[in-house]
Amino acid sequence: MPELPEVETVVRGLRDPLAGRTILAAECTWPRTLATPDLPEFAARIAGQRVTGVDRRAKYILIRLEHDTLIVHLKMTGRLYVVPDASTQHADQWIRFSFQLDNAHQLRFSDARKFGRVYLVSDPVEIVGRLGPEPLDAAFTLDVFRARIAGRAGIVKPLLLNQEFLAGMGNIYTDEALFAAQIHPLRRANSLNADEIARLYTAIQTALRGGIAREGASVNWYRKPDGSKGSAQDELSVYGRAGEPCPRCGAPIIRIVVGQRGTHLCEVCQK
């Protein structure tokens, strides 16, 4: 599933082609993709609305309109891209939604696995209101992180994946952050000392900023809006590298399951 760096890259790639455009009509070919409202209301409300901005909240894409917000969650295989009306793309075989723009272009949502979701709401808080803080916001300081983790007895990896605890983290960057901080993913959160919490805080931000700088990790379905791959996968230390030598100590990277998620680590560096 695309994580914060991948979704941020998609948002940045959509801003220019969508800026100031008016959505003339919407077509849905897989009704389950639409979470709210029902399709007749959706089509009637969105027609004629101009795009005023494109933002991100956690793993959600927020396309700001004059009166509403169009929200898209890519889930596992979703792709958003803007192309000329007559353009044919490989991803078109899985189109679930298309939005006709006023410049003979379309915003298309392709989703092979059909898990992606689209929402049209008057207030985004309806969908994203319960999410935790953004880990790259200036307001998310080390003191804030310490306060949020204080008293938490759960295992640290599932805690970091909890979107109500911290927004936008996923399997890839959580594994990378825990490795950089030299913390075993099965550690209990309340077992972390002050130095480990500080290392983890820094590692989370470093992993996410690195992912954004490399325009996301194309390890599976993720592609940028122009169809090209990100390059973050080329710089990963542990994720997807089971059996390879640890870049820090040379011991083999292993894969275990934590909270039903495949998890990569070095048992020597992350005791």
Q: Which one from 3, 8, 176, 215 is the annotated catalytic residue?
A: 3
Residue 84 appears among annotated catalytic residues: no
- The candidate with the shortest Cα–Cα distance to 81, out of 58, 187, 194, 72, is 72
Tell me whether residue 45 is one of the annotated catalytic residues: no
Going edge to edge, which strands form the sheet with 60-65?
34-36, 117-121, 69-73, 60-65, 49-57, 22-28, 95-101, 105-111, 78-84
> Token digits for 77?
């295989």
Q: Which of 58, 22, 32 is nearest to 132 (CA)?
A: 58
User: Which of the following is catalytic: 57, 59, 117, 223?
Assistant: 59
Q: Quick check: is 15 catalytic?
A: no
Catalytic, out of 50, 248, 261, 267: 261
261 catalytic? Reply is yes
Handedness of CA 121, 6, 255, 184 (dihedral sign): negative
Catalytic residues: 2-3, 59, 261
